[in-house]
Structures are given as structure tokens and as C-alpha cells.
């Protein structure tokens, strides 16, 4: 397992359209393991393979409900000391996902993205959808999603098409977000 580098805007690879997975082999298993480790370490609630530079239709999600009463745990993996909130992990893997039946009803969520660090903006998306996907054995599954899971899945599906959440904003808001990111980077 390894933590991989997360690409950030304006890396042109984030605009690539990812290719379907056709080979369910050990290389894919390693990619998935590394994606989970990278997402948990970031930390984020989702990650698309293209965010670690691999243009394949693979997503990982864990909404990680934090237990506010739990003691934080000090860790030293990845070479630097940091703390983890103990959480009940709920890792979800989606290979070759497709969205079916998006609801007419929309919901708005204040989204962020590991590839657009420290920028948040409200994005409107269908409130519910059905998703069809494959697992590591190539077996097909379907499930109805709602709430943050539906929002996150749609955010990750966008990455597979080379779309970022800031692409859903007006040009003015997008430019403001990118300027803010520039400023934050210069200050760091």
C-alpha cells in the first residue's frame, strides 16, 4: 500500500476522460488499495483514480461518520506525526460506475475537492440517483443513493469526465475561487 500524490488544478490530467476498466487484476487491486489509503490520509470522503493520475473509471468513497466522543489517535505513518479521529470505516468501491434515473428534485451541497484544496462552493445536483457499478471481481451491482452519498458519487463521476465542481459555478465564481486558491498557495 502506498499514498499517492493527489493532482491539483490546473494540472491538465484532471481534464482527461477516464477509460473503462477491462482487466480485473492485481494491478487494479493495488490501485484501489492505494486510493483508499490516499483518501483516508488526505483526508477526503471520495477519490477518483484520475486524481492520482490514473485515467481509469475507478472511484472510492467513505463518508466516514466521525464519532465526536472518541479520543483522537496519534499516528506516524507517511513519515509525519498526525492524529486520526477513530471512525467506523465504510469503504465503498465503484468500478465503471453509471448513473441511472437521476431525480428531478435537486439538492445543494457546499462541496470541496482534494484537487481544489481549501475552496468550497455550493453546487446543485439531483438529490437522488441509482448507480450501477462493478466490483473487483467484475460483478455488477445496483443501488439507490440519496443525501451526501448521492452528491459525492456525482462529484466523483464528474472527475471521470474531466469535470471539477468549480466547473458547475458561474465564470465569475469560478475565477474568484481560483484566485483565492492562488492567494492561499502564495501565502503558504
* Chain residues that interact with ligand GNR, rule: CB under 6 A: 44-48, 51, 109, 111-115, 151-152, 155-156, 159
Q: Which of 113, 149, 166, 181 binds Ni ion (CB under 5 A)?
A: 113
Name the residue number minimizing CB distance to Ni ion. Answer: 113
User: Closest distance between ligand GNR and the C-beta of residue 92, in Å?
Assistant: 13
Between 59 and 127, name the residue whose CB sits nearer to Ni ion. Answer: 59
Q: How far is the CB of 102 from Ni ion (least distance, A)?
A: 19
- Segment near Ni ion (CB under 5 A), from 3-11, 63-71, 112-120, 174-182? 112-120
Minimum Å gap between C-beta 14 and ligand GNR is 10
Cβ–Cβ < 8 Å for 29, 1: no
Catalytic hit among 19, 118, 142, 156 = 156
Amino acid at each position: 500500500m502506498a499514498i499517492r500524490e493527489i493532482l491539483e488544478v490546473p494540472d491538465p490530467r484532471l481534464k482527461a476522460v477516464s477509460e473503462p476498466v477491462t482487466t480485473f487484476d492485481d494491478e487494479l487491486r493495488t490501485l484501489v488499495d492505494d486510493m483508499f489509503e490516499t483518501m483516508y490520509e488526505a483526508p477526503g470522503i471520495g477519490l477518483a483514480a484520475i486524481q492520482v493520475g490514473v485515467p481509469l473509471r475507478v472511484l472510492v468513497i467513505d463518508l466516514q461518520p466521525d464519532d465526536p466522543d472518541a479520543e483522537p489517535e496519534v499516528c506516524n505513518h507517511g513519515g509525519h506525526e498526525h492524529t486520526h479521529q477513530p471512525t467506523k470505516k465504510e469503504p465503498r468501491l465503484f468500478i465503471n460506475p453509471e448513473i441511472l434515473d437521476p431525480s428531478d428534485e435537486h439538492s445543494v451541497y457546499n462541496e470541496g475537492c482534494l484537487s481544489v484544496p481549501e475552496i468550497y462552493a455550493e453546487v446543485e445536483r439531483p438529490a437522488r440517483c441509482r448507480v450501477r457499478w462493478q466490483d473487483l471481481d467484475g460483478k455488477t451491482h445496483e443501488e439507490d443513493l440519496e443525501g451526501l452519498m448521492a452528491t459525492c458519487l456525482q462529484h466523483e463521476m464528474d472527475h471521470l469526465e474531466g469535470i471539477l465542481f468549480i466547473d458547475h459555478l458561474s465564470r465569475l465564481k469560478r475565477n474568484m475561487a481560483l484566485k483565492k486558491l492562488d492567494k492561499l498557495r502564495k501565502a503558504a
